[in-house]
Amino acid sequence: MTAVVQAERLGLTFPSGDGDIVALADVNLTIEKGEFVSFIGPSGCGKTTFLRTIADLETPSSGTLTINGQTPGAARKARAYGYVFQAAALYPWRNIEKNVALPLEIMNYPAAEQAERVRRTLELVNLTGFEKKYPWQLSGGMQQRASIARALSFDADLLLMDEPFGALDEIVRDHLNSELLKLWARTEKTICFVTHSIPEAVYLSTKIVVMSPRPGRVTDIIESNLPRERPLDIRETPEFLEIAARVRDGLRAGHSYDEEVA
Ligand SMILES: Nc1ncnc2c1ncn2[C@@H]1O[C@H](COP(=O)(O)OP(=O)(O)OP(=O)(O)O)[C@@H](O)[C@H]1O
């Protein structure tokens, strides 16, 4: 079976006046269909750059990257992924159903199919009844759910999520994490998820990619053996804490705190 994402010796360098910035160096990673993969690492380690490269918003400087066996450019044209940003990025002048319908309008779906898909995806994220509301009438968590609905509306198998819940308070985040797991189970999507939070990464993922900065490298890939069905209190089990400890060790190993102090 073809991997959904396959990176081999992937490198990406941004030229800059003060010397080149190596955002990604020698990244090797395979993501299979249906996996939930989190990317965790300190600020500037290249998590967003990796997601943007998958989405064909950045071009690799070296190595290869394929999405469903295709180049990122071909995958973008085939609408292979939906993208959820850190801020919900909804248009304030469009109501929720019009925001969710936007990609469908751009792709020229017939009106009846647009309406049906909007109905279905709003139901998936528990926003039925809020179709006519404007973004500012919704809480931050609901706005983020609407932006997930928008990314799901055209049924891409791959969902790229860049710290989607980073700006939300912990209770809302917990709730959205468990909702996202249910949605993932129901839709069988492949998800790439950027986070700074160890508990969030461990709770959500089947695989955790630990990254380190300067240059952005993958320092550990942790396969989770937690069951797919995860109540929130799984976070207190020894199995969960063991994986969290390994992620923390990986982050420490990749981050030279002494260097920063010196
Ligand atoms: N367009 C660009 N031009 C120059 N440098 C860039 C550009 N985009 C990103 N970088 C640099 O590349 C490195 C990786 O950035 P990236 O945003 O991928 O990190 P990140 O791990 O997602 O960080 P954060 O957790 O803060 O979002 C950083 O040093 C950043 O400053």
User: DSSP per residue over 161-221, as a string?
Assistant: EESTTTTS-HHHHHHHHHHHHHHHHHH--EEEEEES-HHHHHHH-SEEEEEETTTTEEEEE
pLDDT at 255 over 80: no
* Residues contacting ligand 1 via CB (< 6 Å): 14, 16, 21, 23, 41, 43-49, 216
- Name the pTM for this structure: 0.90
What length is written for the chain?
Answer: 262
Could you report the per-residue pLDDT of 43-82, keeping only the tens digit for each? 889 999 999 999 999 999 999 999 999 999 999 999 999 9
- So what's the pLDDT on residue 257? 53
* Mean pLDDT for the stretch of residues 180-204: 93
Query: Quick one: pLDDT band at residue 246, thresholds 50, 70, 90?
Result: very high
> What is the CATH code for 1-80+189-262?
3.40.50.300
Probe target for ligand 1 pocket from 12, 13, 14, with the most ligand atoms within 8 Å of CB:
14
- So what's the pLDDT on residue 256? 59
Distance (angstroms) between ligand 1 centre and the Cα of 85 equals 15
pLDDT at 195 over 90: yes
Determine which residue's CA is closest to atom 16 belonging to ligand 1.
46
* Mean pLDDT for the stretch of residues 258-262: 44
Determine which residue's CA is closest to atom 24 belonging to ligand 1.
43
Could you report the per-residue pLDDT of 144-185, keeping only the tens digit for each? 889 988 988 888 899 999 998 887 888 888 888 988 898 899
- So what's the pLDDT on residue 260? 47
Instruction: Report yes or no: 144 and 161 within 8 Å, Cβ to Cβ.
Output: no
Distance (angstroms) between ligand 1 centre and the Cα of 23 equals 6
CB-CB neighbours of 190 under 10 Å: 25
